[in-house]
């Protein structure tokens, strides 16, 4: 991952460990690497492993966001954050920071108003050079929302902690209860990217074979069965279903890039340049599929933030079941 220089660095660190009668661990190796490469500007843009974060957490201008959330328990995230969190982590509320208030027509978790979101980022100390790391305890489903929001604003240096809080603990990462005090306000400036589509785009392209809608909800909800969240069951006509949890292995980490790529290419028409648009119930788990496609090396997909809950707010829009 770090280039051809790593084998030489490993041998050097191991040799020094022997000379000093000290057992050189992989973590010691990573620390040595970063010490020798403080100016290398290593950037994490998709995922970051717990072992990498154990070292990168001490780098200047790194900000970690705790994105834990529960759809059924409004105070779940903040309560867990107050219990403990990664050192210096800032709490990111799905309802208060990563969404704006729904109005009955824009879905259950509409994207935040852009200026309010930017102001919150700056209040958290985020600059355009900040390495942002997002984590949760649900396989990255909520952390991927912050990842997607920052990608929308053109911020490349944002990554999701692979395996989340559980993998951090398994990797001997420590937890803290102290609430981070932001030393100074950031000066983040957006460079928005064209990664969002609205309901009119979906309606216009329902019969366009060059546009593929991927629905991240559970299979039964996609079929229109066992709908317990939204008032109308079913899916957008022509959409294909890919439950976001299929992106993860048994340890709650993202599957390999090759495995994910093979899986997504089963949905995308072979040999075409289909524009993939992700959606789900409210624009949250769709971000997980979007992130998984990036892990797979499949670029330039888009997000329909309003998703199913916005789509059904207008009863003239068509729906399908089965």
Question: Of 67, 124, 148, 280, which one is the catalytic site residue?
Answer: 280
Task: Pull the structure tokens for residue 181.
Answer: 């005090």
The residues facing 134 across adjacent strands are: 65, 160
- Enter the tokens of residue 268: 């995308």
Cβ neighbours of residue 23 closer than 8 Å, sequence gap 6 or more? 17
Active site residue 148: no
- Coarse DSSP helix, strand, coil percentages of the chain, rounded to the nearest 5 percent: 35, 10, 55
DSSP notation for 180-214:
PPPSS---------S-B--HHHHHHTTT-TTEEEE
Distance from C-alpha of 50 to C-alpha of 169, rounded to nearest angstrom:
9
Q: Is 224 exposed, middle or buried (0-12, 13-18, 19+ CB in 10 A)?
A: middle
d(CA 301, CA 212): 10
Tokens of 315: 């009863």
The dihedral of CA 5, 7, 13, 16: what is its sign?
A: negative
> Residues 125, 128, 130, 135: is their CA dihedral positive or negative?
positive
Tokens of 284: 């949250």
Two tokens, residue 251: 């340890």
Count of CB atoms situated within 10 Å of the CB of 105: 12
Query: Residue 264 is inside which H or E element, if any?
Result: helix 257-265
Q: Which residues are catalytic?
A: 280
């Amino acid at each position: 991952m770090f280039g051809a220089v790593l084998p030489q660095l490993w041998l050097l660190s191991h040799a020094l460990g022997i000379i000093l009668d000290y057992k050189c661990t992989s973590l010691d190796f990573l620390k040595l690497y970063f010490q020798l490469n403080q100016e290398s500007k290593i950037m994490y843009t998709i995922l970051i492993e717990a072992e990498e974060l154990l070292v990168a957490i001490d780098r200047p201008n790194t900000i970690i966001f705790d994105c834990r959330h529960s759809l059924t328990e409004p105070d779940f995230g903040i309560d867990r954050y107050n219990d403990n969190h990664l050192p210096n982590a800032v709490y990111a509320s799905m309802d208060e920071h990563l969404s704006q208030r729904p109005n009955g027509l824009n879905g259950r978790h509409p994207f935040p108003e852009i200026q309010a979101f930017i102001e919150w980022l700056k209040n958290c100390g985020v600059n355009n050079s900040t390495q942002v790391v997002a984590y949760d305890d649900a396989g990255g489903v909520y952390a991927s929302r912050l990842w997607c929001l920052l990608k929308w604003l053109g911020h490349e240096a944002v990554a999701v902690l692979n395996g989340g809080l559980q993998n951090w603990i398994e990797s001997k990462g420590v937890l803290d209860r102290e609430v981070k005090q932001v030393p100074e306000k950031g000066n983040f400036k957006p460079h928005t990217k064209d990664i969002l589509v609205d309901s009119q785009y979906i309606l216009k392209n329902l019969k366009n074979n060059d546009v593929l809608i991927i629905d991240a909800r559970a299979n039964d909800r996609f079929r229109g069965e066992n709908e317990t969240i939204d008032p109308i069951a079913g899916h957008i006509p022509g959409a294909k279903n890919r439950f976001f949890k299929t992106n993860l292995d048994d340890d709650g980490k993202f599957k390999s890039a090759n495995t994910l790529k093979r899986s997504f290419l089963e949905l995308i028409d072979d040999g075409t340049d289909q524009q993939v648009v992700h959606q789900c119930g409210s624009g949250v788990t769709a971000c997980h599929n979007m992130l998984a496609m990036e892990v797979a090396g499949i670029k330039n997909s888009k997000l329909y933030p309003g998703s199913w809950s916005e789509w059904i707010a207008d009863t003239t829009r068509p729906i399908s079941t089965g």
